[in-house]
Amino acid sequence: MINIEFNHAIGDRVFVHQANDILGCVCGMSINVNGDMYRVIWWQDGKRQDEWLFGWEIAATEKGAK
């Protein structure tokens, strides 16, 4: 078994770069051959959005977690 360290944890608040730095919340984590991925949810124009994003597509908020 291999232990993987992620830069973000479930419940962390993050900025989504490609969505005008919208504030989202990490709700899942995965790793594949292309790198670490995070399932991020956010609300935009009254609709819930959720996407699997690579680590380089998101950034921690100043406070980082919950």
pLDDT score at 63: 60
Written as one letter, the residue type at 43 is W
* Predicted structure pTM score: 0.83
Token reading at 16: 């989504």
Is residue 51 a part of any domain in this protein?
yes
Task: Kindly report the number of other CB atoms within 10 A of residue 30's CB atom.
Answer: 12
- Domain count within the chain: 1
Find the helix or strand (DSSP H, E) in which 4 lies: none
Contact present, 8 and 52 (Cβ < 8 Å): no
Task: Kindly report the number of other CB atoms within 10 A of residue 8's CB atom.
Answer: 20
pLDDT score at 30: 95
pLDDT score at 27: 97
Is residue 22 a part of any domain in this protein?
yes
Is residue 5 a part of any domain in this protein?
no
Band (pLDDT 50/70/90 cuts) for residue 26 is very high
Is residue 17 a part of any domain in this protein?
yes
Band (pLDDT 50/70/90 cuts) for residue 19 is confident
For 39, the domain range is 13-60
